Chains A and B, each alone.
Chain A
Amino acid sequence: MTTAAATAAAAPTADNVRGWSRKEMAKRLADDIPEGWYVNLGIGIPLAVGDFIPSDREVVLQSENGIVGMGPLQTADNLDTWIVNAGKQNVTLRTGASIVSHSDSFAMIRGGHLDLCVLGSFEVAANGDFANWTVSLKSVPAVGGAMDLAVGAKRIWLIMEHTSKDGKPRLLETCTMPLTAPGVVKRVYTNLAVIDVTPKGFELVEMNPEITFEALQARTGAKLHRKAA
C-alpha cells in the first residue's frame, strides 16, 4: 500500500467514523464541570459522568429521589440497600451529604438551584428543544423527573450519540418526537463533537479528530456554525 492509499483509507468517510466512546464522552463532559457546582445526572449514560469527576474536585451530585451529595456505587462490603439513586442503584453518600424528601428535592430542582443537569436524549433541535422520552404506546411512556429537571436547572447539557443506529441525524432543525421541554438545551456532547446551542443555532465547540467539518455537517440535521474566532 502506498502512503497516499494508506492516508486515503484512514481519512474519514460517512461510514467509518465511530468517534468517542461513551466513556470518553462522559469524561469529556466531566472535565467541563467546575468545582462547587451542584449537578444532577440523569439515568443512563449521564450517570457515568460521575465516574470521571475526580474525588478531590468538590462537585456535589444531586439525585432526584432526595440525595444531595451522592457518591459512587456501593460495593459488596459496604452494602446498605436503603440508599438508592434515581436509577435505583445502591449508591454511597459522600461526606457532607444530606437527605431530603421528594417534594423538597423537586422544589430544589424546579426552583433553579442546580447549576447543571446532564440528560440523555433521542433528539435535540437548533432552538434548544429536546426529546428524551417517548409516548409511543408500544413501550409505555415513562417521564420520571426529566421534565422537571429540564425546566428547573440553570443549564441543560445533553450527552447523546450524534446519529441514530441507522445513521440519521439526531441534531435537527425541529424535533420530530414529543418534547421533554422547549428551548432549554445549552450544550450537546456527542460521539463526534461538542456543540453549543446559541441564539444562532448549533455552534461547534470541539470536533472529534477523526472527522472533518464537512462530514460532521453531513451528519447534522441543521446548520452547524463555526465559533467566531
Chain B
Amino acid sequence: MAINKIVQSMADAMAGIKDGSTVLVAGFGAVGQPNQLIDALTEQGATDLTVVCNNAGTGRKGLAGLMAAGRVRKIICSFPRSAGSVVFEELQAAGKLELELVAQGTMAERMRAGGAGIPAFYTATAYGTYIGEGKEVREFNGRKYIMEEAIKADVALIEAWQADRWGNLRYRTSARNFNPVMATAADLTICQTQHIVELGALGPDDIHTPGIYVDRVIHVPYGDPPPAMKNES
C-alpha cells in the first residue's frame, strides 16, 4: 500500500500519546510553533508530561494552555521567562512545575545526539557555571568540558510550511528553528503543515526534513504568525 502519512483529524494525529510521555515542542517564540497540535494534545488528555521547548509559553493558549490544564509535570527549557509567560510563572510560584534550565545550544545538541544514537557528549558550554555544577568534567587538549546526556523523546510536535504524503518537509525562514532536530529525536513525530503538496513537488535538494523522521502530517493552514511584540524597542 502506498505510503500516506497524512491524517484527516486531530484525534488521529494525537492517537496513542500516553501519560508520562516526554514531548518535544518546536518553535522559537510563536514562530514555527505547532500551536494547533498543542491544543489538540490538551484536548487528547495525556498528562504527567515532560515538555522540551525553548520557551515556556505565553498568554493562556497553546503551550501555556497545556500547562494551565495541569498536564505538564516538568519543562526543559532555555528561556522560560518572556513577555507574557504568566502561566509558567504562576505554576513555578505554586511549586507545581519542575524546571530544568538548559543552555540553548546544549538543548539543541542533546536532541541532535538523541536522534543520532549518541547517548552523551562533552561541551564547554556551562562549564564553571551554576548550570554545570555536579556534572562530570573532563579535560581535552587543555580545555574543560562537561558531559551532557542526549534527549530522546516519545513525541515531537513540529510545524512545516510544506509537506507531502511521505512526510517530506520544508520550513519557512525562521520557522525552521528547532523543527528539524526535534523531528529526529522522537519515536512519534507529528507535523502540522500550512500546505500539502504532491509527492515530487519538493525536489530532492529542497527537502529540509526527509519523511523517514516523520510519522503523521496534518494540514493546518492557519496563516501567518502574529507580528513580533518587540518591533518598536
Contact = CB atoms under 8 A, between A and B. Distances in A.
15 contacts: A74-B231, A88-B28, A90-B231, A102-B104, A103-B112, A103-B181, A110-B123, A141-B81, A143-B78, A144-B103, A145-B78, A147-B103, A151-B125, A178-B129, A181-B129
Interface string A87-105: 1111001000001111101
A146 B127 CA distance: 13
B130 A82 contact: no
Contacts of A64: 104
Interface stretch (B1-9, B60-68, B168-176, B197-205): B168-176
Interface of B is mostly: loop
Highest count of chain A CB atoms <10 Å: which of B78, B112, B123: B78
A148 B125 contact: yes
Interface string A145-181: 1111011100000000000000000000000001111
Given A65-B177, A89-B230, A100-B176, A106 B28 contact: no
B122 to A, nearest CB: 11
Contacts of B179: 101
Contact of B129 (A87, A110, A147): A147
A81 interface: yes
B127 A178 contact: no
A182 interface: yes
Range of interface residues on B (Cβ < 8 Å): 35 or more
Interface in A20-41: none
A152 B228 contact: no
A140 B105 contact: no
Interface string B75-109: 00011111001001100100000010111111011
A145 B231 contact: no
A42 interface: no
Interface of B: 28-29, 31, 54, 78-82, 85, 88-89, 92, 99, 101-106, 108-109, 111-112, 123-131, 172-181, 208, 224-231, 233
A106 B129 contact: no
A141 B79 CA distance: 8
B176 A99 contact: yes
Highest count of chain A CB atoms <10 Å: which of B79, B99, B179, B225: B79
Contact of B101 (A67, A82, A143): A143
A123 to B, nearest CB: 13
Given A102-B178, A103-B112, A140-B80, A88 B173 contact: no
A143 B131 contact: yes
Contacts of B85: 140
B29 A88 contact: yes
A150 B79 CA distance: 16
A12 to B, nearest CB: 32
